[in-house]
Amino acid sequence: MILAITNVILGIIGFCIAFYIFHKKSHETALVCPIGSDCDAVVHSEYSHFMGVSVERLGMVYYLLITIFYAFAIFFPTLTNGLIHFIMLGITLGSFLFSAYLVSVQGFVIHEWCAWCLGSATVSTMIFLTNFLLVDLEVTYYLVQYKGLIVILHGVAAAIGVGGATITDTLFFKYLSDKKISKEEASTLKTLSTLIWFALGLLVLTGVGLYMPEKETLLQTPKFLAKMIAVAVLIVNGVALNFIVSPKITKINFDDQEPIRDIKNDILRHVAFALGAVSIISWYFVFILGSLRSTNMTFDNIILIYLLALVIGVLGSQFFAEHIRRKDSLK
C-alpha cells in the first residue's frame, strides 16, 4: 500500500512537471528557471526529442502510466501480481537510465541546467528507488523464467547497435571527407546516434538480466568478461564522441558551411575518426562474442584480439583522415 500511494504521488508530480514544460513550449512562452539558468536552451535543444517525439510528451505518458497503474493497485491489490511488478520495475529502471542520459546531455553538451528537467529526473529516480526498495519480489525467478525472451532482446539490441554503428560511421566518414557537414547530414547522424544509444541501453539492461541469475558462473567465463569490457568501452567512447567531439564539429561547420582549415580542427576531425573506428569495432566485437555459444580461448587471448582490432581500426581511420587532409590541401 505504501509503495502504491508513494508512486501515485510521485507520478502526479512528474506529470505536472512534464505538462508544465509541454504547456510553455506549446504556447511559445519562456520557462521561469528557479536556479537562474536558461531552461529554454535545454527544452528547445536538439536533444529535446527522442525518436521524433518530444521528451516532455514521453514524460507525460510515463508518469500517467505510473499514476494509473498504482492507483489501480491501491483499490485492487490482488490483481497486481509479481510479474506485473517485475515489468514495472524494468520500466522504471529504463526511465531512470534515460533521465541520467538527459542530465548528462545538459551538463556535457548544452552546458545549461533546466530546473524543471532536473526535477523530473529526480522524480523518475525516486520512482525507480521506491520500486526497487519496497517491492517484495524475487527478481531472479522471473529472469530465469523469461530468459529466452531476454536473450532475444539482447540479440536484437546487439544487431541494432552493429547496424546503426556501421551506417553511422560510413556516413560520418563520407560527410567529413569534404571537411563540412550540413544541417541535414547532422540531423541524420543525430537520429542514428539516438538509435545506437537506445540499442546500448537495451543491451545493458538485458545483459544485467542475463547476468543476475548466473553471476557466479559468468564471472568465471572469459567470453563474458571480455564482452563486458567492450561494452564499457562503448559507453565511454559514446560519451566522448557524442557529448564532446560531435557537438564541437557541428558548431564549427553548420553556421557558415565553410571547410575546416586550421590545425586544431583537423586534429578534432582525426579524433572523431578514431572514436568512430573504436565504436564500430567494439560493436562488432560484442556482436560476434554474443553469437558464439562457447570458445576455448582464454581471456587474455580474447582481449589481445580486441586490442589488435582496435589498433588496426584506429590506424586505418587516421590514414583515411590524413588522406582527406592532403587531398583538400591540393585543391
Q: What is the pLDDT of residue 51?
A: 76
42 and 186 share one domain:
no
**Domain final position from 82, 114, 137:** 137
87 and 156 share one domain:
no
pLDDT reading at 77 higher than 70: yes
d(CA 245, CA 193) in angstroms, rounded, equals 13
Which whole number is the average pLDDT over 268-272? Answer: 83
164 and 126 share one domain:
no
179 and 38 share one domain:
no
d(CA 278, CA 283) in angstroms, rounded, equals 9
The 10 Å CB-count burial string (b at 16+, else e) for 200-229 is: bbbbbbbbebbeebeeeebeeebbbebbbb
Cβ neighbors of 182 (< 8 A, separation 6 or more) are: 175, 254, 257
**Domain final position from 117, 137, 157:** 137
153 and 288 share one domain:
yes
Q: What is the pLDDT of residue 325?
A: 67
Cβ neighbors of 31 (< 8 A, separation 6 or more) are: 21, 24, 39, 40, 43, 114, 116
User: How sure is the predictor about 48, in pLDDT bands with cuts at 50, 70 and 90?
Assistant: confident
pLDDT digits (tens, 9 = 90+) for 225-240: 999 999 999 999 988 8
Which residue range(s) make up the domain with 110? 2-137
pLDDT reading at 276 higher than 50: yes
166 and 310 share one domain:
yes
Q: What is the pLDDT of residue 123?
A: 95
pLDDT reading at 260 higher than 60: no
Which whole number is the average pLDDT over 294-317? Answer: 92
What values do phi and psi take at 324, rounded to 5?
-65, -40
- The grid coordinates of residue 326 equal 592532403
User: How sure is the predictor about 255, in pLDDT bands with cuts at 50, 70 and 90?
Assistant: very low
pLDDT digits (tens, 9 = 90+) for 165-177: 898 888 877 776 6
pLDDT digits (tens, 9 = 90+) for 161-207: 999 889 888 887 777 665 566 677 777 787 888 888 889 888 988 88
Number of domains in the chain: 2
pLDDT digits (tens, 9 = 90+) for 95-147: 998 999 889 888 877 888 899 999 999 999 999 998 887 666 677 888 888 88
52 and 84 share one domain:
yes
Q: What is the pLDDT of residue 180?
A: 63
294 and 171 share one domain:
yes
293 and 179 share one domain:
yes
101 and 162 share one domain:
no
Which whole number is the average pLDDT over 32-51? Answer: 83
pLDDT reading at 159 higher than 50: yes
Q: What is the pLDDT of residue 256?
A: 47
**Domain final position from 94, 114, 137:** 137
CATH of the domain at 102: 1.20.1440.130
16 and 91 share one domain:
yes
pLDDT digits (tens, 9 = 90+) for 81-91: 677 878 888 88
172 and 61 share one domain:
no
